[in-house]
A and B are shown apart, each in its own frame.
Chain A
Amino acid sequence: MNPVLNWRVLYPLLAALLLLAVWLSLALGPVSLPLADTLRALLNITGLNLTEVQAQTELIVSQIRLPRTLLGLMVGAVLALTGVAMQGLFRNPLADPGLIGVSSGAALGASLVIVGLSRWITLPVVLEPYVLSAAAFAGGLLVTALVYRLGRRDGQTQVATMLLAGIALTALSGAIIGLFTYLADDSTLRALTFWNLGSLNGASYSRLWPLLVVALGVVYWLPRRADALNAMLLGESEARHLGFDVERVKRELILCTALGVGAAVAAAGMIGFVGLVVPHLMRLLVGPDHRLLLPASALAGGALLLLADLAARLIVAPAEMPIGIVTALIGAPFFIYLLIRSRG
């Protein structure tokens, strides 16, 4: 696969797209604000109270739109990066982060809390979102750890076995989630459904911190494994002969994906198709070299998720559509288009 675009052209384009997406995400919303006011409100966040802005405007920009934009950026970038990592690890362009069980594990943790909170435990309402996030994160890590454990034999990680273990554990998680669904009453059922569709709604700074730490780690660390991922494309033994510690690389990629996707899902619920489609699209544009592919995917993932969220906010305003619906509605037909094109 030859790159369509030189990276010297593509990177500035992607950076511009990302900046545009960030700007639109801050400037547009159900409440229409004059551009000048949005700018002033943003300037005020820096602490230089240069101009007076209406309290309402300031609140919308700094407390509602900005945390939401930051959340979208991080979730998009992390999902796209880990998507590249998984497609590289499994040497399969159809792989997505869900393959190692992290998404289904997170869903399992979340459904345990959503149903459990209504039946067995009572917590202060304010704490609920935090407990939900923590459980989703823990569930994702736990199931991934199990998948990894099952994929190991004689000190070696068998990628094929791990893939099957991932499928089996995903099915098992699905069954347990089904059991919770059966136990759930009407309102928890709705909560469960909405969680599974993902949303950036209600983002706040206090809930951004954990994701920020993980996202920075993933964004810093994954692009540094580009050479190893390139070598893995040739095959595991070839990579070993090239001097890479393949077992270690695999372990690190899986840990990184589990942490990243776990934190993203914990913060925003399940958002499908970003981790699958973005790396695919970027591979078409810059080619399979991970040194170019990883940063490009991070930029594009952040930008696309922000644009999808913008649509989610605006389409049915003053109500809001779950973002998972938007990403799947755009992502799935696009994926089908790619399939048809690559066949012809």
Chain B
Amino acid sequence: MRLEPILAGLCTGLLLSTASLADELPQRWISAGGAATEWIVELGGQDRLVGVDTTSQHPETVTALPSVGYQRQLSAEGVLTLAPDLLLGTEEMGPPPVLIQLEKAGVRIERLSASSELNALEDNLLRLGALLGEPERAQLALEDFHRQLNDLQRQIKLASKTDQPPGVLLLLGVGGNSPLVAGRNTMADWLLRQAGARNLAEHEGYKNLAAEAMLALDADWLVLTDRQLRGVEGQQALMAQNPSLAASRAVREGHLLSIDPTLLVGGLGPGLPDALRQLSHAFYPRLQEHRAEASQ
């Protein structure tokens, strides 16, 4: 009979301790990073977001939130109007004096890594999970992400035994006659390699390439960003304006792909495996056949 009050006490104690734990977790979040925002939503933290920056475009629902501007040009007072507990961004977030002012105002500031490395993603996700109070969910998401990428790598490895890895160029802008082409040490380069392609551009970073030089590289595939390729009409208009692009072998063969430009900034997001699958299935038409083989 004397057990009951003890049990009751224990139960209330447990309840109180979990309640206080939840209190300590930041409740009002501002996310200043595209990939971070996507992961927050993916991990079920959407209702904690009270504001996002201009690089947060996905999923569509977050664009309705108040915008705090560009991640490098945050305004101290503007951020404070949203009364956040936490400002989450990447190391690109700034300017530094504003972050110092915000810290003084009691806003917790967390910087995730914007690098396109799997280690960085692991660190980011585990930290997000802890901040959200959802460590298991973050762990699962991470494992799922790794598994998807590994599966794809195995399939590509099998496919590339029979098919040559295609030579690809990724164009950011095609305005005028010298498109902006993604070279080494870019997120775009990493994406292409993950999708099993060879990036034909050998310069560092994003550089304008003369139309002739681009034609000389004779890419098997051209990858453009979504914004450039809005529907068939948009594509035709683009080709009409850029005869050198239209003359390339890739375009003549209809080997034109598009990716979402937000994939290229702010680190690895949850939409990445899907995008990679789309690219690699285009690069290796017989990838589908290797799917069953690879998963065995």
Contact = CB atoms under 8 A, between A and B. Distances in A.
Nearest to A29: B77
Contacts of B104: 59, 63
B284 interface: no
B78 A30 contact: yes
Contacts of B51: 318
A190 interface: yes
Contact of B72 (A64, A190, A203, A313): A190
22 contacts: A30-B78, A30-B81, A31-B81, A56-B105, A59-B101, A59-B105, A60-B105, A63-B101, A63-B104, A65-B77, A129-B96, A185-B206, A187-B72, A191-B72, A202-B98, A207-B97, A317-B75, A318-B66, A318-B78, A318-B82, A320-B75, A320-B78
Contacts of B265: 186
A261 to B, nearest CB: 21
A230 interface: no
Contacts of A38: none
Interface string A115-157: 0000000000110110000000000000000000000000000
Contacts of A56: 80, 105-106
A204 B97 contact: yes
A201 B81 contact: no
Interface in A37-76: 56, 59-60, 63-65
A199 interface: yes
A319 interface: yes
A319 B68 contact: yes
A58 to B, nearest CB: 10
Interface string B92-105: 10011110110011
Contacts of A185: 205-206
Interface string A15-48: 0000000000000011100000000000000000
B133 interface: no
A64 B77 contact: yes
A9 interface: no
Interface string B74-94: 111111111000000000100
Contact of A126 (B67, B96, B98, B205): B96
Contacts of A182: 207
A125 B101 contact: no
B190 interface: no
Contacts of B79: 318
B70 interface: yes
A90 interface: no
A339 interface: no
A316 B75 CA distance: 11
B80 A60 contact: yes
A194 interface: yes
Interface in A138-190: 182, 185-187, 190
B75 A318 contact: yes
B69 A64 contact: no
A60 to B, nearest CB: 6
Nearest to B53: A319
Interface string B49-76: 0010010000000000011111011111
Nearest to A318: B78
Of B51, B66, B101, B104, chain A has the most CB atoms within 10 Å of the CB of B101
A88 to B, nearest CB: 36
Given A201-B75, A204-B97, 16 more contacts: A29-B77, A30-B77, A63-B104, A65-B77, A129-B97, A186-B206, A190-B70, A201-B73, A201-B76, A202-B98, A207-B97, A316-B69, A318-B79, A319-B75, A320-B73, A320-B74
A191 B94 CA distance: 10
Interface string B190-204: 000000000000000
A63 B103 CA distance: 12
Contacts of A199: 73
A262 interface: no
A204 B101 contact: yes
Nearest to B187: A186
A288 interface: no
Given A202-B97, A203-B97, A30 B206 contact: no
A190 B55 CA distance: 12
B73 A128 contact: no
A83 interface: no
Of A191, A207, A317, chain B has the most CB atoms within 10 Å of the CB of A317
A157 B80 CA distance: 53
B96 A60 contact: no
A188 to B, nearest CB: 10
Of B74, B95, B98, B207, chain A has the most CB atoms within 10 Å of the CB of B95
B97 A319 contact: no
B45 to A, nearest CB: 20
A289 to B, nearest CB: 41
Given A318-B67, A319-B69, A313 B101 contact: no
A139 to B, nearest CB: 20
A302 interface: no
B100 to A, nearest CB: 7
